Amino acid sequence: QKEVEQDPGPLSVPEGAIVSLNCTYSNSAFQYFMWYRQYSRKGPELLMYTYSSGNKEDGRFTAQVDKSSKYISLFIRDSQPSDSATYLCAMSVGGANSKLTFGKGITLSVRP
């Protein structure tokens, strides 16, 4: 079992739809949960991070973490064509030099 599993894609939705992206993990030591967005042939950019369990909202984006189930989600409301990208979940145990463990990524396409 991989440390981080991410729902396979690709995912195609119409503009305005609510998108749900999910990851599961096996390492109970993970404390930081992040979502990165990566456009084609570009480096990833951090969208949001959450520490421990709970929800976090930033504009149209909501991140949820359920540590008891080892399950995290990213919701995108009112999706836009500009949201079309690959979304990667990443996790870390924390600390100054702590490395990130990434999910495989899911490619989202928002149709106008």
Partner 1 sequence: GAVVSQHPSWVICKSGTSVKIECRSLDFQATTMFWYRQFPKQSLMLMATSNEGSKATYEQGVEKDKFLINHASLTLSTLTVTSAHPEDSSFYICSARDRRGTSVPEQYFGPGTRLTVT
Q: Measure the CA–CA gap between 112 and 58, rounded to whole angstroms.
A: 23
CA dist 88 and 6 (Å) reads 8
- Contact between 43 and partner 1 per CB under 8 A: yes
| Torsion region of 83: left, alpha or beta (phi above 0 gives left; psi -120 to 50 gives alpha) | alpha
Q: Is 82 in the site for partner 1 (CB under 8 A)?
A: no
Near partner 1 by CB under 8 A: residue from 1, 14, 29, 41: 41
Say whether residue 100 binds partner 1 (CB under 8 A). yes
* Residues that bind partner 1 in the complex, under the rule CB under 8 A: 6, 32, 34, 36, 41-46, 49, 51, 88, 92, 94-100, 102-105, 107
